[in-house]
Chain A
Amino acid sequence: MKQDVFVNCPFDADYDPLFEAILFCVFDCGFRPRCALEAVDSAAIRVEKILDLIGECRFGLHDISRTEPNAAGLPRFNMPLELGMFLSARRFGPKKQREKVALILDVDPYRYQQFLSDLAGQDIAAHGGDPRRAVTVVRNWLRAQDTSRPVPGGKKIWERFELFQRDRGPLLDDLQIQPDEVSYADRVHLIEYWLEFVSGDGPSPTDEADEAKDS
């Protein structure tokens, strides 16, 4: 739980560049992203699985920027709901849950006052819909949570992310996976393995155990 970050954000195609950049940034800062997509293939009831995830994560990144109505004229409420669950866990949970820390993201820092004004007093930052800005905001926030180890600067993370983006297409080709076939597990493992490789880390002690489980 210590390094797990609950990523509560939209999962649509428009948001995907921000989502990918945030996942990459969380890994590159030495933390582990967790999100509701882990629950997609699970037999567990989705809300129960999300509550379990929230319980397992000390940190929470909550993007409330998707307020526009969809084709049916309705907004997406999942993000505010999951933010409410996270804040409730912090408020009513046992000691471990009360250590939870949340960062709320939106396109601009004051827009929430028009649709979620009860959030006043929370830590709110703006990404302006820009993945590069999101990387800097998330990096600075994570840096403040753990000053005991090195965390690269936002510019360095962004440079690495651009390199990863360049490699991603050829990597999927090599692994014979079409872009629309990439699962959440594929996505996060590719980021983890790529970062581990470019960081020059050798196989970790748990690699062999992972491989045994894979095969």
Chain B
Amino acid sequence: MTKRVIQKAPGKPKSFTKAQAVAAIKRVVADRERAAKQETKNGSGRQAS
């Protein structure tokens, strides 16, 4: 499958650098995924008991 391309956003100045934004995205996505896993785990636990 052909790789998808995300175009570069226009406009400056922005309030953050790309490195700061990507670091924040990594943290937020990881937190969300962790919470979702925990929720699934808790749900399975309740079903099992």
Contacts and interface: CB of A to CB of B under 8 A. Distances in A.
Interface of A: 3, 27-28, 30-34, 37-38, 41, 149-150, 152, 166-167, 170-171, 174-175, 177, 181-186, 188-199, 201, 206-207, 210-211, 214-215
Interface of B: 1-22, 24-29, 31-32
A205 to B, nearest CB: 11
Given A30-B5, A188-B10, A181 B18 contact: no
A174 B24 CA distance: 6
A38 B10 CA distance: 8
A188 B11 contact: yes
Nearest to B26: A197
A194 B25 contact: yes
A166 B32 contact: yes
Contacts, number: 105
A149 B16 contact: no
A185 B29 CA distance: 22
A34 B29 contact: no
If over half of B's interface residues share one DSSP class (helix, strand or loop), that class is named, otherwise mixed; here it is loop
B22 A193 contact: yes
Contact of B28 (A30, A149, A167, A181): A167
Nearest to B20: A175
Given A211-B19, A214-B17, A185 B6 contact: no
Nearest to B23: A174
A197 B15 contact: no
B4 to A, nearest CB: 6
B25 A167 contact: yes
Top 5 nearest A-B pairs by Cβ distance?
A32-B7, A185-B11, A188-B9, A174-B24, A192-B9
